[in-house]
Amino acid sequence: MNKNKHNYKPGDVVDLTVVRKSDLGAFLDAGTGNTSDDILLHNAQQTETVMVGQVVKVYLYTDPRGRLAASMRLPQMREGQVARVEIINTTRDGAFVNIGAERGVFMPHAGMRGKPRRGEKVWVKLYRDKSGRQAVTMEVEDELRRASRPAEGVKVGDTVTGSVYNYSDQGAFIFTKDRFIAFLHNDEMTERPRIGAELTTRITYIREDGRLNVSMRPPKENAIDVDSEKILEVLRTRGGQMPYSDDSPPEIIKEKFNISKAAFKRAMGRLLKSRLIEQREGWTYLINNNNEGGD
């Protein structure tokens, strides 16, 4: 029977004393009075040579046989903390992330946002599950809000870089490298970024509470050119005609062109003024194109 009065668990970071050494490595005192409970610090898990009697700080984990083992490679985060970490593997039940320790830490499906892929980096919080094992979750809104600070030293038009940590129906939330919280509305996306994606966006508004509104799109005067060319490209691929006009619903415009109704109307206005297009009965046509009509 294990009389481990300290009840050490995988994931603990503790100071333990080296009581003996062998060819495999050093054995650490588990504090039970039973040498069979001593914890192995394998040679491969030592960042420097240790001596008998020395007190070393180690990270505890379970080896392939389920026994408690130690490593001098300490994790980059502690329980309750948040960090942006790499996905090292995915399974049917969840994923494993790298927190800088000897073993990856499990993230159950319930703690996921979206479908993270191997190699991607995401914001996570480290915690203990009901069984006492370490785990992580991507539900980090409260922690990032507490860690954030009001935006200062920036102005509208400046760019900020950060990573997506959550979505709402309206858009994406970004935590920047300067610890600002920024909101990227759906209408301001040139594509839908994945959770964890790092983006450089343009500040469009600074709120009274110090949060930012940002955009992936170029400034309005440049965006008109980009959007106009996008509309012309759609027309060319459709033989010079399309069933979309100023009267089309915003959701259709968003789905087909990935821009807002307002941006679409600005670009259409530019093309109409330049006499490159014309609109009739809800359809738009390239001028001087013989394939008029609709189907």
The pLDDT of residue 220 is: 72
Return the half-sphere exposure (C-beta side, CA atoms, 13 A cut-off) of residue 192.
Answer: 12
**Rg of the chain over all Cα atoms, to the nearest angstrom:** 28
Q: What is the dihedral of CA 218, 219, 220, 225, to 10 degrees?
A: -50
Q: Which of 253, 251, 252, 242 is nearest to 277 (CA)?
A: 242
The burial of 82, by beta-carbon neighbours within 10 Å (0-12 exposed, 13-18 middle, 19 or more buried), is given as buried
Q: Which of 217, 200, 214 is nearest to 264 (CA)?
A: 217
Residue 85 carries which DSSP code? E
Token pair 């994931």: residue: 11
The pLDDT of residue 221 is: 67
Token pair 């014309």: residue: 278
Q: What would be the CATH architecture of the domain defined by 221-286?
A: Orthogonal Bundle (1.10)
Rounded (5°) CA angle 199-101-31? 150
The pLDDT of residue 293 is: 43
The pLDDT of residue 6 is: 65
Residue partners of 218: CB distance under 8 A and separation at least 6:
202, 226
CATH code, residues 149-215? 2.40.50.140
Domain regions of the chain by residue span:
13-71, 82-142, 149-215, 221-286
pLDDT tens for the chain, residues 1 to 295: 344 446 788 888 899 999 999 999 999 998 888 888 899 999 988 999 999 999 999 999 888 787 889 999 888 888 889 999 999 999 989 999 999 887 789 999 999 998 899 999 999 999 988 887 889 999 999 999 999 999 999 999 999 999 999 999 999 999 999 999 999 999 899 899 999 999 999 999 999 999 999 999 878 767 788 889 989 999 999 999 999 998 999 999 988 898 889 889 999 999 999 999 999 999 999 987 444 444 4
Q: Which CATH superfamily is domain 13-71 in?
A: Nucleic acid-binding proteins (2.40.50.140)
Q: Do domains 13-71 and 82-142 have the same CATH topology?
A: yes
The pLDDT of residue 295 is: 42
The pLDDT of residue 1 is: 39
Question: In sequence order, what are the beta bridge partners of 166?
Answer: 173
- Alpha-helical segments (H) within 159-292: 220-237, 250-257, 261-273
The pLDDT of residue 67 is: 85
Assigned fold of 82-142: OB fold (Dihydrolipoamide Acetyltransferase, E2P) (2.40.50)
